Chain A
Amino acid sequence: MSKDTKNPLAKGLQFISRRFLELVYLISSFPIILTLFVLVTTALSTSFIIPFSILIILGLLAAMEIMATFEISRSNWLLKTDIQRSQNAWFTTKFFSWEGAKERAISGRSWLAIAYVFLAFGLSILGFVVAVLALSSVFCLLATLGLIAFHPSSGTLNIHQSGFNGNLVANLDSNHLQLHFLGFDIHDGPMNGNITWTYTSPLFTFLSIILIIVAVAMVPLIAKWQRQLVVRFLSDRSFAEIYYKSDRRRKTAVSVGAQDRSRIERDLHDGVQARLTVSGIEIDRARQLAEASEDKELSDALDRAASETAQAMQEIRNLVKGLRPALLEKAGLAAALSSLGSKQAFRVNVEADIQRLPTEMESALYLICSEAMTNVGRHAKASTMTIVIKQKGKLVTLDIEDNGEGGAMESEGSGLKNMKDRADSLGGEFILISPTGGPTKIKVIVPCE
């Protein structure tokens, strides 16, 4: 499924470069989000005092769009995510107008973006600490292995308190860290202490390695939290990266559904379809007999029976085909969709340069497309439909567009509702954009492990 190469060296390099980019992300987050935090808090607090408060707030809300774009790009660039910016501008009205003010003030997106700044601020501090920890743990490891040698140096800390005087002296050389403490308390008398750590010992190497492991585990985790904040608060959620709602029950339900469908299909094929064909043969035989005996009435009745049977065979075939098309199983989505498309009254272009996907996913995507074709055939008055399927990392996207008259609505019991349910069953997203006058666009994004 994944396009990752099997070569362990390449995999290792990829792992390191990922962690490195995440580290860069975390370190850069701190100053960037700190700045944003300061700007936002300043704007919010000054707006209560000075006369231009409304303007400041509105400006802030409007500026959040730029901030969101920037943060999304930063995540996409450094974390290699595929978070989508909003397809349209956040605001459609002029800034200096009553409608403009109203739109910005009640814009959920802007307020969410402000919430992002606050939440990300907390996280960025944690991220920064972890990143520094990660870097210093590498440094420690090198030092304990003797690959980095410290210049001998020392520092002294003087402690003077009422009734107490003391000196803490730290000496560092290429192997040891020594702490000497010399103090005198007027009640307890002299207090002395000496500690020496040989930091090039295996114990310290071991501790550094533990530290590195912890940091390497933490870095992607915190990067993931930050990324989730970006997705949830800044991106166009509907087009956003999809999280694995890793719901085992749902997965089972899907595959049980697929099994059921395949059993029903099997039963129909071996039972009803075969029986209908045999009935068809018998009817034709009877018809020939009726014709031979020149019984016009009987022959007409049998003609009607034959045509009804033919119709029934056609309907069952369409039904079964929808359940589990043989070609889908054998040759994959692209072939099955092209074949289905060629039977439509309008032209269907299929672009699906992908590898084979899990069975349930192929069949759900196929059924979504099939439903879309039925809809277009019934309502859209379109001459062309384009289906594009792509796999990008762990996401599979399906785009369907037709040049019909648009105005499709997703209501209960409609084909579109079925399509959405199928996308849901895969833990995916379904988006319909169908303005009156067209074109209708459908986007389905599903996660694929």
Chain B
Amino acid sequence: MRIAIAEDVALLREGIVRLLKEQGHEVVAEIGDAREILKAAKEYHPDVMIIDIRMPPTNTDDGLRAAIEVRNKVTPKIPVLILSQYIETFYASLLLDDDEAGVGYLLKDRVTDIKGFMASLDEVARGGTVLDAEVVQSLLHDSKDVSLQSLTAREREILALMAQGKSNFGIASTIFITEGSVEKHISSIMSKLGLVNEETSHRRVLAAIKYLNQS
């Protein structure tokens, strides 16, 4: 894949670039300032962009704002994987407000799980949605809806894993149950939340996340 990376801390940027190259990807742009992000997106039109939320000039959420700008201004849409030192549901909802296809939001720590990180990156590049487990936990925790209280601990766990973009098989192998029981759990979650089953797993999760966000 052709990837652009925006991360102002050179040490970390180089670490990730090395990792990506090792995995056979091409890094088309290395960006250290959020003001360069849109320009790079237009110039290189990468398959996916990895963007740190906190970047110069103000070192607050410049990266996120640039990412949203890229999503709105560049066609065809470039998938964006947002990395952050912290997870804030507030930021997640800003991202999802736009269009959830091809959006990821992960804690920076996830980079250290190379396989998992690459899988997430692929998922986002394919137009999927990847949310950090912490986002889902926070959303679940924040939600005041009673139907959520009816989810079992296992079901919450599975919902969180789905939100990370894991397939049924991925979930099954993470928590050591069969794919069949994963499916059962998922349909139970969907019925408890009163959601209609849709074809792809990320859409279902997204529906769930949005539903949680509203309540």
Contacts and interface: CB of A to CB of B under 8 A. Distances in A.
A280 B111 contact: yes
A281 B60 contact: no
Interface string A268-304: 0110011101101111110010000000000000000
Contacts of B16: 281
Contacts of B114: 281, 284-285, 288
Contacts, number: 82
B69 interface: no
A193 B60 CA distance: 83
Contact of A330 (B9, B61, B112): B61
Contacts of B53: 326
Contacts of A281: 15-16, 19, 111-112, 114
Interface stretch (B86-94, B151-159, B194-202): B86-94
A281 B110 CA distance: 9
A343 interface: yes
B52 to A, nearest CB: 10
Contact of B138 (A331, A335, A342): A342
A277 B112 contact: yes
A310 interface: yes
A283 B15 CA distance: 12
B145 interface: no
B35 interface: no
B115 to A, nearest CB: 8
B85 A273 contact: yes
Contacts of B12: 274, 277-278
B11 interface: yes
Interface in A235-270: 266, 269-270
Given A280-B111, A284-B114, A275 B11 contact: yes
B97 interface: no
A331 B90 contact: yes
Contact of B9 (A270, A310, A327, A331): A270
Nearest to A339: B88
Contact of A306 (B11, B85, B91, B112): B112
Interface string B50-88: 000110000111000000000000000000000001101
Query: For this complex, into which size category does the number of interface residues on chain B fall?
Result: 20 to 34
Given A309-B112, A310-B112, A326-B54, A342 B89 contact: yes
A277 B85 CA distance: 10
B53 to A, nearest CB: 8
Contacts of A338: 142
A40 B8 CA distance: 73
B113 interface: yes
A314 B138 contact: no
Interface residues of A, number: 34
A126 to B, nearest CB: 54
Given A277-B12, A326-B54, A339 B89 contact: yes
B25 interface: no
A274 B11 contact: yes
B86 A321 contact: yes
Contacts of A280: 109, 111-112
A335 B138 CA distance: 13
Contacts of A357: none
Contacts of A314: 109
A283 to B, nearest CB: 7
Contacts of A185: none
B162 to A, nearest CB: 20
A99 interface: no
A377 to B, nearest CB: 14
Interface string B12-28: 10011001001000000
A313 interface: yes
A353 interface: no
Given A281-B15, A326-B61, A274 B9 contact: yes
Contacts of B113: 284
B141 interface: yes
Report the 8 A-B pairs with minimum CB-CB distance, sorted nearest first.
A280-B112, A278-B15, A274-B12, A274-B9, A342-B141, A342-B138, A342-B142, A284-B114
18 contacts: A266-B59, A269-B85, A274-B11, A278-B11, A280-B112, A281-B19, A281-B112, A310-B112, A313-B109, A313-B112, A314-B109, A321-B86, A326-B88, A329-B60, A339-B88, A342-B138, A343-B137, A343-B141
Interface of B: 8-9, 11-12, 15-16, 19, 22, 53-54, 59-61, 85-86, 88-91, 108-109, 111-115, 137-138, 141-142
Given A280-B111, A281-B16, A329-B60, 12 more contacts: A266-B59, A274-B11, A277-B15, A281-B111, A281-B114, A285-B19, A325-B86, A326-B85, A339-B90, A342-B141, A342-B142, A343-B141
